Structure 1
Amino acid sequence: MLSARWQPMLDMQAEVNRLRDEMDRLFGRWTGRRFPLAPTTYPLMNVWEEDENLFVETELPGMELGDLEIYVHGDQLAVKGERKEPGNDKNTWHRRERGYGKFARVLELPVPVDEDKVAAAFKNGVLTITLPKRAEAKPRRIDIRAD
């Protein structure tokens, strides 16, 4: 990567997540459970790049392929889905920590991508999205001429 962009919203989100984790830790001592603050960003994503591609990876355990949708528009990637509740309501629940329901996560892409060539693979609960960079986003070597 040639340069790093300043992304104040990501910095602010990281700080909010840090504070939320600290509150969870603090109040969890007394209650034995998470403090009921706003839901944590879901799904969590790893984003990295190589010369030709940008990659996004997210863990979605227990999800089925048909429960997921991916959209790329301009400089944004959206991952949407629904984790369905188990169908057996006759159980007596002692603890129910896993979340269920619809989710959506929109991610600002750090470089322009070729929307027509985006590919996604879902294996063992891990979604990997490969986003080929547009030509203008790829690093270009400049030869230095001796005078």
Structure 2
Amino acid sequence: MIRYTPGVDLWGEPLATLRRIQDEINRTFNEPQAPAAEYPALNIWRGEDAVLVTAEVPGVRMEDMELTVHQNTLTIKGKRAPVATEPDVSFHRRERTFGSFARTIALPFNVDPDRVQACAENGVLTITLPRPEAERPRKIQISKA
């Protein structure tokens, strides 16, 4: 027998009961309500002479990552290994992902691939992407005629 909460207008929103049941099921299985964000999370700063990209990559070994630059496109690829667990235990909650990842972003201008620098510290990858000298804005001096 189905029992309804007094005061609920079932005819006003016919799917209200189903939504409530779905919410309870999601809460029971600890499924996130929001869609997963892209990985790795990035911050991008643009200057006149270069673009600075920082990416959060905790638990990723630098030898398991690959950066490629082509004109105005940066691709970050890598693999995060799973955490080793005891053979006789099971997860109570598992939110950290593992496996291969790839992220490609368009940069605001072409970059000089020979001068790109990357370093990592405390799980943050920092990439400096300089603009080619020939494509940098130039200040033009105006002379009297």
Q: Which runs of 5+ in 2 are unaligned?
A: 1-22
Report the CA distance between 1:97 and its aligned residue: 0.4
Q: Which runs of 5+ in 1 are unaligned?
A: 1-26
Partner of 1:58: 55
Partner of 1:98: 96
Paired residues, what number? Answer: 120
Task: Please give the alpha-carbon distance, in whole angstroms, between the structure 1 residues aligned to 2:44 and 2:134.
Answer: 20
Which segment is superposed worse, 85-94 or 103-112?
Answer: 85-94
Partner of 2:123: 125
Q: CA RMSD in A?
A: 2.4
Q: TM-score, normalised on structure 1? A: 0.71
**What pairs up with 1:9-20 in 2 under 5 angstroms?**
none
Contact 2:118 2:127 in 1 (8 A): yes
Report the CA distance between 1:95 and its aligned residue: 0.2
Q: TM-score, normalised on structure 2? A: 0.72
Deviation by residue 1:54-111 (Cα, 9 ceiling, x = unmatched)? 1111111121111111011122110000111012252221000001110000111111
Partner of 2:74: 77
The structure with more radius of gyration = 2
2:43 counterpart of 1:46: yes
Task: Please give the alpha-carbon distance, in whole angstroms, between the structure 2 residues aligned to 1:50 and 1:40.
Answer: 26
Structure with the higher helix share, 1 or 2: 1
Secondary structure at the aligned position of 2:138 is classed as coil
Task: Please give the alpha-carbon distance, in whole angstroms, between the structure 2 residues aligned to 1:131 and 1:93.
Answer: 41
Task: Please give the alpha-carbon distance, in whole angstroms, between the structure 2 residues aligned to 1:49 and 1:136.
Answer: 18
